[in-house]
Amino acid sequence: MVVSVERFQKAKLDDKAVLTFRDKSITLDVYQGTQNEVGIDITELREKTGLITIDPGYANTGSAVSDITFVDGEKGILKFRGYSIEGLAEHSTFVEVAYLILFGKLPTKDEYHEFSHLLEEHTALHTSLEHHFNGFPDGAPPMAILSAMLNATACHHPELLDTELDANNFMTASAKILSKVRTIAAMSYRRSQGFPIIHPNHQLKYCANFLHMMFSQPYREFQVDPVLERALNIFFIVHADHEQNCSASTVRMVGSSRANLFSSVAAGVCALWGPLHGGANREVINMLQSIHKEGKSAAEIIALAKDKKSTFRLMGFGHRVYKNFDPRARILKKHVDKLFEILHKSDPLLDIAIELEEQALNDDYFIERKLYPNVDFYSGILLRAIGIPLNMFTVLFAIGRMPGWMAHWKELLDHNQRINRPRQLYMGYTHRDFIPMDERD
Ligand code: CMC
């Protein structure tokens, strides 16, 4: 049975679902989540009937029972551990939200200081790890570097490669990864630019320290503007988790084989890299820049996105779950406006984005398919305002998503979930006789 953890037994409804096929019927248990979504438990389906379900892309498959994040795509609701994203983005910091996602509660002052202290303690990389950066060619994609370096970091912590981490070891492992991921990210950027590496400054908080490692020079300390530091906190907070998305499901898939935390999140980085997932934040800016520089009009881009002969999609638009609006996009758009007002700045790409959004939201193609701006539509404009270079955008998403990935890994193991191993509907040849090579056409 999928719902193996005792405390979820209370979710079982008295109602049952009955599936009939030909002369066989099976009665299936039904569970109701705390937000009233209802799921049919099909774990005994194949054993009892020989049937499987078909759901490519898993749009109807509940792959896990989880209490980390809730998304209501119809109403545009996103909550981490019960707290709404709007409240967290307004009042909290990334470190506090990371603690909430990882450990299930907002930290007390003492817990916050303990966790912050662990993050400070683990910022630096082992010097031998710094040599790895020299092995990558110029222009190596930072997402490749990040994924490889997370596995390399694991080699230095054999004591944390166990999947049965107790609470203390999980806190140490997650603090190490959360802290080192920003050091790796900043170093990969410095390496790509041919700049000397800047070591962490323990006086600085999480986001400020990252900006320092990115932008300070040996002869000049980067002065971190608190307005930009806050903007980066908000960017990380809205990305901190998003339930069973492609990369979190990848982390769970890899973790289900009892792979360690480091390699599981490294796999998450690879999944995030793709342009339909985290890579979309770069693609949005590429798209806006092509409109700006090459003089393409918003109407041309919209027409191309609608053209079924083209593979082009309006980047930063559409979502598997959100069919009304993505609350993260709203938060980021609001913050971009505020940021530009405070900084007395502007960005021509913002005007283009607003025009594209307006046209798309009034176009039948987008209305019928319920396609709205997603988190990536405005996030790149925010990152540009902070000064983050384009090739680092998806890396920044990965830093933000790290708490979510680690919490999913831990939850999967706490629930003692079986190894993930879907079935398939085989449509290939039934039998072929082997033909020697020189007799083949
Ligand atoms: N531009 C044009 N058409 C689109 C778009 C888009 N951005 N998104 C979906 N469609 C169309 C799609 O062609 C299909 O049309 P039809 O029914 O005529 O075949 C219909 O809408 C449904 O699309 P789908 O591909 O079945 O939807 P999905 O749930 O599998 O994909 C998505 C969701 C986010 C991958 C997709 O909307 C997309 O490719 N968006 C652009 C990339 C993007 O912004 N990704 C970031 C997602 S949010 C953050 C994250 O998860 O990383």
Q: DSSP characters for 412-426?
A: HHHTTPPPP------
What residue has token string 């892309």?
57
Percent of the chain with pLDDT over 70: 98
Residue whose CB lies within 8 A of the most ligand 1 atoms, among 270, 286, 313, for a mutation test: 313
Which residue is closest in CA terms to ligand 1's atom 3?
313
- Give Cα separations from 347 to 238, 280, 385 (angstroms): 22, 19, 8
pLDDT digits (tens, 9 = 90+) for 335-348: 999 999 999 989 99
The closest alpha carbon to 233, from 211, 216, 214, belongs to: 211
Residue 27 has φ and ψ, to the nearest 5°, of -95, 125
Residue whose CA is at the smallest distance from ligand 1 atom 15: 369
pLDDT at residue 8 tops 80: no
Q: Which residues of 360-387 are buried (b: 16+ CB within 10 A; e: fewer)?
A: beebeebeeeebbbbbbbbbbbbbbbbe
- Nearest residue CA, atom 51 of ligand 1? 277
CATH 2.20.28 is held by the domain 3-53: yes
CB 196 within 8 A of CB 187: no
- Number of the ligand 1 atom closest to the C-alpha atom of 316: 44
Cα 237 to ligand 1 centroid, rounded to whole Å: 24
Q: Examine the pLDDT at 9 and tell me if it is beyond 60.
A: yes
The answer, yes or no, to whether residue 1 has pLDDT greater than 60, is no
Residue to mutate (ligand 1; options 371, 375, 377, 401; most atoms within 8 A of CB):
371
Q: Supply the residue whose CA is at minimum distance from atom 45 of ligand 1.
A: 276
For residue range 297-317, what is the model confidence (pLDDT) as tens digits? 899 999 999 999 999 999 999
The reported pLDDT for the residue numbered 6 is 62
Dist. CA 181 → ligand 1 center (Å): 29
Task: Give the pLDDT confidence of 413-435 residue by residue, as tens digits.
Answer: 999 999 999 999 999 999 999 99
How far apart CA 301 and CA 288 sit, in angstroms, is 10
Closest Cα to atom 11 of ligand 1: 369
User: Are 240 and 69 a contacting pair, CB within 8 Å?
Assistant: no
- For the stretch 161-193, pLDDT in tens is 988 889 999 999 999 999 999 999 999 999 888
Residue whose entry in the numeric block shows the structure tokens 């191993």: 421
Q: How far is the CA of 69 from the centre of ligand 1 (A)?
A: 22
**Among 405, 403, 394, 389, residue whose Cα is nearest residue 143:** 394
Which residue lies with its CA nearest to atom 16 of ligand 1? Answer: 369
Domain parsing of the chain, residue ranges: 3-53, 81-273+390-414, 280-386
Burial class of 11 by CB neighbour count within 10 A (0 to 12, 13 to 18, 19+): middle
State the catalytic residue, choosing from 241, 347, 363, 376: 376
Q: Is 132 a catalytic residue?
A: no
Distance from the alpha carbon of residue 322 to the mean position of ligand 1, in angstroms: 11
Which residue's CA is the nearest one to ligand 1's atom 19?
A: 308
CATH class of 280-386: mainly alpha
- Both tokens of 92, joined, read 């909290």
Q: Give the model confidence (pLDDT) of 185-240 as tens digits.
A: 999 999 888 889 999 999 999 999 999 999 999 999 999 999 999 999 999 999 99
How would you classify residue 15: left for phi > 0, otherwise alpha for psi between -120 and 50, otherwise beta? beta
The upper half-sphere exposure of residue 126, i.e. CA atoms within 13 Å in the direction of its Cβ, equals 12
Closest atom of ligand 1 to 397 CA is 52
Q: Whose structure tokens read 């996103």?
A: 78
Residue 137 gets which letter from DSSP? P
Q: Is the pLDDT of residue 111 over 50?
A: yes
Catalytic residue among 157, 242, 319, 335: 319
What pLDDT, on the 0 to 100 scale, is given for residue 194?
84
- In the sheet with 69-72, reading across from the earlier edge strand, the strands are 69-72, 77-80, 83-84
Atom of ligand 1 nearest to the CA of 272: 52
Ligand 1 nearest atom to the CA of residue 369, by list position: 21
Whether 2 has a pLDDT exceeding 60, the answer reads no
CB neighbourhood size of 145 (10 A): 24
Q: How far is the CA of 95 from the centre of ligand 1 (A)?
A: 31
Average pLDDT over residues 272-293: 96
CB-based pocket (< 6 A), ligand 1:
57, 245, 276-278, 280, 305, 313-320, 369, 371, 374-376
The mean predicted confidence, pLDDT, of the chain is 94
- The C-alpha atoms of residue 375 and residue 41 are separated, in whole angstroms, by 32
CA of 317 to the centre of ligand 1 (A): 7
The reported pTM is: 0.95
Q: What's the fold here for domain 81-273+390-414?
A: Citrate Synthase; domain 1 (1.10.580)
Q: Are 360 and 302 in contact (CB under 8 A)?
A: yes
Site of tokens 């209370």:
10
Cα–chain-centroid distance for residue 13? 32
Q: How far is CA 234 from CA 3, 96, 413, in A?
A: 35, 12, 30
Known catalytic residue at 376: yes
Q: Angle, to 10 degrees, between the axis of helix 246-255 and the axis of helix 393-414? A: 40
CA–CA separation, 398 vs 417, rounded Å? Answer: 25
- For residue 277, the CA-to-ligand 1 centroid distance in Å is 10
Q: Which residue, by CA, sits nearest to atom 8 of ligand 1? A: 318
Whether pLDDT at 78 is above 60:
yes
